[in-house]
């Protein structure tokens, strides 16, 4: 198994199943003989669309709060670029909030 990376992404609740399927189909969440493994937590996304934005939700210069799901999973390094492309294609936001980092001590 190659280097693992953690992936965390935030998505509106109504789009979470589609996003989970898209990143899982691209290889995220593979652990041993299991696929599409993830941990999810509900929360509230907060943002203000600024000049130049084309928000999926909300209006320019108006603070917004949205029920969202935090999705956490692992991704093998060689699959990471494809998973991020799938995430961006499936996510409804113009600028999806996500982060990745190498997982230390996984062996």
Report pLDDT digits (tens) over 9-67: 999 999 999 999 999 999 999 999 999 999 999 999 999 999 999 999 999 999 999 99
Q: Whose CA is closest to 71, among 101, 102, 97, 32?
A: 97
Give a yes or no: residue 75 inside a domain: no
- Residues paired with residue 78 on neighbouring β-strands, in sequence order: none
What would the pLDDT profile of 57-103 be if each residue is shown by its tens digit?
999 999 999 999 999 999 999 999 999 999 999 999 999 999 999 99
Give a yes or no: residue 69 inside a domain: no
Task: Identify the domain containing residue 48 by its residue range.
Answer: 4-64+89-102
For the chain, how many structural domains are there in total?
1
CA-derived radius of gyration, the chain: 15
Give a yes or no: residue 19 inside a domain: yes
Give a yes or no: residue 70 inside a domain: no
Task: Tell me the pTM.
Answer: 0.92
Q: What is the CATH number of the domain that holds 96?
A: 3.30.70.120
CA 81 to chain centre: 13
């Amino acid at each position: 198994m190659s280097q693992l990376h953690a992936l965390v992404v935030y998505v509106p609740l109504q789009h979470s199943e589609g996003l989970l399927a898209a990143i899982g189909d691209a290889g995220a969440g593979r652990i041993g003989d299991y696929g599409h493994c993830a941990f999810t937590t509900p929360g509230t996304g907060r943002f203000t669309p600024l000049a130049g934005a084309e928000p999926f939700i909300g209006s320019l210069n108006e603070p917004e709060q949205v029920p969202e799901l935090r999705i956490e999973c692992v991704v093998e390094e060689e699959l990471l670029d494809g998973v991020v492309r799938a995430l961006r294609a499936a996510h409804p936001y113009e600028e999806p909030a996500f982060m990745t980092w190498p997982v230390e001590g996984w062996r």
